[in-house]
Amino acid sequence: MAVTIKDVAKQAGVSPATVSRVIADNPRISSKTKVKVREVMEGLGYYPNFQARNLVAKKSQTLGVVMENSATLAFQNPFFPEVLRGISTRAHGSQYGLYLSTGATQEEIYSEVVEMAQGRRVDGIILLYSKIGDPVMEYLSKSGLPFSVVGRPFKDPCSISYVDNDNINNTKETVEYLIGLGHRHIAFVGGAVDFVVSLDRLEGYKQTLAQHGIPFDEAYTANQELMGGNEREAIRRLMALEVPPTAIVTHDDMVAYEVIGYLEDLKIQVPEDVSIIGFNNHAISRHLKPPLSTVDISIYDLGLHAAELVLEKITDESVPPKQVIVSSRLIERGSCRRL
């Protein structure tokens, strides 16, 4: 059915080996032969069969991209397309394709990754998240398969190639900014607690409070687990504290807007009554009301570097693990006010 290397060889009057060498643009083949063979390939509409080629080359020219496939609001945001755009760009530049994990649960993801790796479906893997005690990362570390992570690994980060923002410091900067505006009662709404990024942000938050002699109070914090699907109630509780916060740091712009919505239902205005700041700088955030102050984390660059890191490992197994910190930048807009 499909045109094979043999068909081309026959028609061009050469051996299959020669055709193969023409495809690889082997310099030992005469240009006369090359021209002839290429003509025949064109004429016959020949395309090399990946499976065959990869089988003998023991590679797949493919990167596995592993993500959580969740329907929650934090995933309903532009992080994914944007990081993928970064990965795509870099991968495409090196003729690599992208294979996506499709698992919905932890277990599905795990077994898919094992299959990808052992079945030689991919040459390397990019893990789009970093969480505590993640069996996927454990497996990857042991497997010897090149991989990189978007997000600092919880365990033994120096032995793993990853790209991340400096989440402790960018959160510090954020909280500093609010303190600079005169806020003292600052709440923190974080993501799922098993994500390292959530830990880091919380850590940055705590450190800044400590530096300014503001006591840390758990009651001023919330996270995905605490809210347990009832964000509205969590916000209500927060604002019902004896001394309610005058500012709230949220881990994602979309979540920030969700919070703003709940606040408005409570007749609390942003920024008049409460200041809010987000993370991730979604393209839409500057158009919304209020225009959200946020932290741009260079999502595209995260993707670009993550791809770069695996690709490096694939090309040269012996390169030591590398850590890339991508810059982030506080963007002041209208959602915070000076007290």
Partner DNA sequence: CTGAAAGCGCTTACAG
Q: Choose the one of a second copy, DNA, none that binds residue 97, judging by a C-beta under 5 to 8 angstroms depending on kind.
A: a second copy
42 binds a second copy (CB under 8 A): no
Beta carbon nearer to a second copy, 112 or 200? 112
Take residue 154 and report the two structure tokens written for it.
């919880």
Q: Choose the one of DNA, a second copy, none that binds residue 240, judging by a C-beta under 5 to 8 angstroms depending on kind.
A: none
CA distance 256 to 249: 8
Segment contacting DNA (CB under 7 A): 30-38, 197-205, 247-255, 263-271?
Answer: 30-38
Take residue 171 and report the two structure tokens written for it.
């959160």
The full 3-state SS of 59-105, as one line of letters, equals CCCEEEEECCCCCCHHHCCCHHHHHHHHHHHHHHHCCCEEEECCCCC
Task: State the pairing for strand pair 147-150/162-165.
Answer: parallel
Beta carbon nearer to a second copy, 53 or 322? 53
Q: Judged by CB under 8 A, how many residues of this single chain contact a second copy?
A: 61
Residue choice 25, 32, 318, 320 for contact with DNA (CB under 7 A): 32
Q: Choose the one of DNA, a second copy, none that binds residue 314, judging by a C-beta under 5 to 8 angstroms depending on kind.
A: none
Beta carbon nearer to DNA, 58 or 287? 58
Segment contacting a second copy (CB under 8 A): 26-34, 110-118, 272-280, 329-337?
Answer: 110-118
CA distance 12 to 7: 8
Segments in the chain forming alpha helices (H): 5-12, 16-23, 31-44, 50-57, 79-93, 106-118, 135-143, 167-180, 196-211, 224-227, 231-239, 253-265, 299-315
CA distance 302 to 13: 50
Beta carbon nearer to a second copy, 26 or 89? 89
57 binds DNA (CB under 7 A): yes
Chain positions contacting DNA, by CB under 7 A: 1-2, 4-6, 13-21, 23-24, 26-30, 32-33, 46-49, 52-53, 55-58
